[in-house]
Amino acid sequence: MLPTGSAWKQADSSREPGASTPVSRTQRLQRLEKNQPKGPETPEERLRRLARRVDSWTESRSDKSIWQSWISIAPKTRITLGLGAIAFSLGGLYLADYLEKQYPARNNRSLSTKALKQPLTLPRLLPIGAAPLARGYASSSEPYDVIVIGGGPGGYVAAIKAAQGGLKTACVEKRGALGGTCLNVGCIPSKSLLNNSHVFHQTQHDLKSRGIDVSEVKLNLPQMLKAKEGSVTALTKGIEGLFKKNKVDYLKGTASFASPTTVDVKLNDGGEQQIEGKNIIIATGSEVTPFPGVEIDEEQIISSTGALSLKEVPEKMVVIGGGVIGLELGSVWSRLGAKVTVVEFQDAIGGPGLDSEVSQQFKKLLEKQGIQFKLGTKVNGIEKQDGKVMVRTEGKDGKEQDYDANVVLVSIGRRPVTKGLNLEAIGVELDKKGRVVVDDEFNTTCKGVKCIGDATFGPMLAHKAEDEGIAVAEMLATGYGHVNYDVIPAVIYTHPEVAWVGKSEQELKDEGVQYKVGKFPFLANSRAKTNVDTDGFVKFLVEKDTDKILGVFIIGPNAGEMIAEAGLAMEYGASAEDVARTCHAHPTLSEAFKEGAMAAYSKPIHF
């Protein structure tokens, strides 16, 4: 059993024969020094004596102030120690200056530290002299604890978390801007356009009923796009600031494996650099899945990237794919004035995981906004004709139909980015879809190499990648990390929003799970009424015998914000009754969430 409290003092001391009180190590050293025979000291003896003095001074710091400890040392010894500290400090400064001249661009980070640039006061001399050696600046080839390839939501979060855990960390990003697809050409810019296009549409069509008369409303598309870019720039710069704050080395360039522990970086500004890492995390994300035989020019035939930067509102737009991305971007240009048609091969919109009842209601609401849908329809070809684009389709009944458009948005999914990493050379296995094969702890088939985010299994969601980034960094720093894949939410940021977490009715039926349903409409919610925004409902799916929440689906205002409460409840294994008995502020939209839970375990009050 380990000693505790004052017992530590007893354990850290020894008793001389016949002594009734413990004798400290310092006292023994002092007696030994006192009993030394007089005579000239050899250099070795002098070093030992000085070492004992330093040891004695260090131990006494627990009982005395630093100054008292310092003056207790003989004057000659103080002078010797002071001169030694100065010499050591100057040597460290000289070494740092030499290394900075030899390696001026090491990891895009100066070798100088704030400490080296501060005035040389006596109390700081020893730390300053030791700093360059302690931080490992003596060699540019010293390995990192962690190298992250990719600076998207998963990669940059993993890098910061690893650095916060005390691991020497570097992050390589080829884009030249941190944040990945999500921040630069995905989630963030699309949300800017979704919000501002909604405001524009609401101003055009909804203000009069609210008692607001507006004489004329005009779209300034260049300014709307400028506002989008401003948001993106501010956030990317913010991540760079977080890297500096947490001392993450940021390399702008393209990475490839030279060995399981070595990464070659082709720098964006020219030149190459090789870095070593004890652990390497692949977080390279995903890219747009191309349509077979069709070239994306980002002008008439566009991907999600091009859909964020159209120079004018098209008269007609065809969206190929009725998943999250296609519906969000299609709704943006529909609100701004385009006639939008969505062609989807499946019989429902919203993608896998969305409850069929919610999907049907969602489709009706988007149709009310003017979007047309062609479900159960495949695209046989896309051709440019006379300045327009022709989309040739075929229904399940074999009937063919052509649609002409000014712009065609190809939104049929995304695929992992793994090409160019030289994974085959280090034995990293990929599956048939190009995803990196990993185990439960993100380990690939190559020891020391891990993978997270869109490049491996699971839903391609930024917040899923972020959670994996935190988990893998914690595993490396502490040996433990955790992601609960049963409670990862999904959101479609149209208006109204659609959000869900957990399992749908179809999934529960397939698994043979007995469940109950609780629903509550926003039409009966007081805050939704006052906001004149009552479309949609909250739907709970709970286990029949235990009342445990298995899934929650929300279609309505602020669904993306409200779904977090469902995720929290499910993370802790809450029942519908637990949620229903939790007081929710009035009047709020969240009361609809509470009453949905009440409907599942008993009965709602207001419906």
The residues carrying an active-site annotation are 586
- For residue 209, how many C-alpha atoms fall within 13 Å in the half-sphere facing its CB? 9
Q: Is residue 147 within 8 Å of residue 275, measured between CB atoms? A: yes
Task: Dig out the tokens for 430 from the structure.
Answer: 């990929």
Which tokens go with 380?
A: 């046989």
CB proximity list for 350: less than 8 A, separation 6 or greater? 322, 323, 324, 327, 358, 359, 362, 492, 498
- Residue pair 32/25 in contact by the 8 Å Cβ criterion: no
DSSP 3-state of 140? coil
The length of the chain, given as a count of residues: 607
Q: What is the DSSP letter of 354?
A: S
Question: Tokens 């479609």 map to which residue?
Answer: 492
Q: Report the C-alpha gap between 129 and 153 in whole angstroms.
A: 38
Taking residue 55's Cβ as centre, other Cβ atoms within 10 Å add up to 13
**The token pair that represents 271 in the structure block:** 């030149």
* Identity at 125, one-letter amino acid code: L
Q: Compute how many other C-beta atoms are within 10 angstroms of the C-beta atom of residue 415.
A: 16
Whether residue 260 contacts residue 149, with contact meaning beta carbons closer than 8 Å, is answered with no
The CA distance from 1 to 15, in Å, is 21
Beta bridge partners of 443: 450
Helix/strand/coil for 429: coil
Provide the β-strand partners of residue 522.
Answer: none
Query: What's the half-sphere exposure (Cβ side, CA atoms, 13 Å) at 422?
Result: 15
Q: Report the relative pairing of strands 249-259 and 169-173 from DSSP bridges.
A: parallel
What sign does the CA torsion over 48, 54, 55, 57 have?
positive
Contacts 24+ apart (CB under 8 A), 425-433: 425/257, 426/257, 426/259, 426/260, 427/260, 428/282
DSSP state of 23: B
Within 8 A by CB and 6+ apart from 391, the residues are: 318, 320, 343, 379, 381, 382, 402, 403, 404, 405, 408
Q: Rounded to the nearest 5°, which phi and psi values hold at 575?
A: -95, 170
Q: CA angle, 464 as apex, 489 and 451 as ends, to 5°?
A: 155
Do 267 and 455 meet the contact criterion of CB atoms below 8 Å apart? no
Other Cβ atoms less than 10 A from the Cβ of 430: the count is 17
For residue 496, whether the previous peptide bond is cis, meaning omega lies within 30 degrees of 0, is: yes
